Amino acid sequence: MTLDRDSQRLDELIAFEQDRFVDRMGRSAELARAAHRSLAGGATSSWQLTDPHPIWIDHGKGSRLFDVDGHELVDLHGGYGVMLAGHAHPAIAEAVRGQIAHGSHFAQPVEEAVVVADHLRADYRQPLWRFGNSGTESTMDAVHLMRAATGRDLVIKFEGAYHGHHDMLQVSTWLTDTAVLGAPDRPRSVVASPGIPDAVASLTLVAPFNDLDAVEALLVAHAGKVAGVITEPVLMNCGVVPPEPGFLEGLRRLTNEHGVLLTFDEVKTGLTAGRGGCTARYGVTPDLVCLAKSLGGGLPISAIGGSEDVMSLIVNGAYEQVGTFNGNPLSIAAARAMLEEVMTDEAYRHLGDMQMAMAEGAQAIIHEYALPAYVADVGAKGSITYRESPVRNYRDFLAVDGRWAYAAWLTQINRGVLLPPWGKGEQWLLSVQHTAEDVDLYLETLAVFALAVRG
């Protein structure tokens, strides 16, 4: 009876809040309609599309966004993990202003690139670095380097993990048909998007996250053919799924035993999980680390760092890691400011205080209203997953009823709090400019949602 009541209330709440959303977002709706004339699908990225329609933004300041309809929003979306500095941070703005006055692009190295690389070398315990422009580029380079270093073709990834939109890793991501995905303990390699040949996907093997036995079985079954394993240290495409005790250490042991390379995709966790990301947090050093998103303080940049052995392929010219905008001076200037002026020890302490208040406050509301949910967080990122038992892999995540998160998202955006619109699996991000007032408003709107469903 409770499940039936919850289901009915969720549907009623979604319908009510959708109508309220449409009534409040007239200018956004106009722009959404106009955008279809020249923007494919009506937006600049498919990830910007959401029901009832995208939210068009005018500007951002500090911890807040201001939409074209004049609403002020506490930004917990954070540009999908980019805006750890918050909006228009004075240090980032000053760095970019100073550089643009001296030129925006040279296709030649600038001195600040060495400074940024030195910081990354110390924080992530990788001696050599190269820059790019997006997380997709950094993980693509990682796969290329693992194959070039070993002379092998196969790569292992984890089911449900997103590592960018290139052919090699757009496999078994965002898919929901378990008949297609295969058995939970033996997932198939399934293309996640049209345009990716099955032949390419067959080079990417898939294992369940947090399952060392499955990884070992693949390494044994394909002995001498696997170039490397790529993983997010914390699975971030299914809410926030931490590694079970010993999982990352076990991956390091297995890859060493089988002569296989290990890559940590820290595009999302990088700076947000703390100084040195999850690499430092969990104390496991891979062969390659991929960074992007928050590194640039809002400007596009990525970085890949690796061991002397692997990166020697770039040093000796065997692998050409190239890109016209690699090390772009504007992005490098912003990254230096991010690492030296924004993400100070004090800033990380502030983020820790804010995250503790968010997580503990949200968990208290979940308990008070007996919501089928739990909070998980790592560093500045956190999420509520609407499932009574914790998700440990992608198959667990598929059982989550997405209506809970969507209803919560609508309820909160209508009351001044913006979370990622793909609420079933996306995380909130706190910035260094968020305040206790922002956290309080988030918790107030969460309580409004809880009361509407369970009151």
Catalytic residues: 162, 265, 293
Cα dihedral 247/389/12/439 (nearest 10): -60
Single-letter residue type at 239: G
* Pairing of β 381-385 and β 417-418: unpaired
Name residue 378's beta-bridge partners.
381
> What does DSSP assign to residue 327?
T
Residue with tokens 């060495």: 114
Burial 358-385 (b: 16+ CB within 10 A, else e): bbebbeebbeebebbbbbbbbbbbbbbb
Strands annotated E in 235-368? 261-265, 288-291, 302-306
* Lateral strand order in the sheet of 428-429: 374-378, 381-385, 428-429
Strands annotated E in 70-225? 72-75, 128-132, 154-158, 182-183, 186-187, 204-207
How many angstroms separate the CA atoms of 209 and 232, rounded? 10
**Kind and range of the H or E run holding 60:** strand 57-61
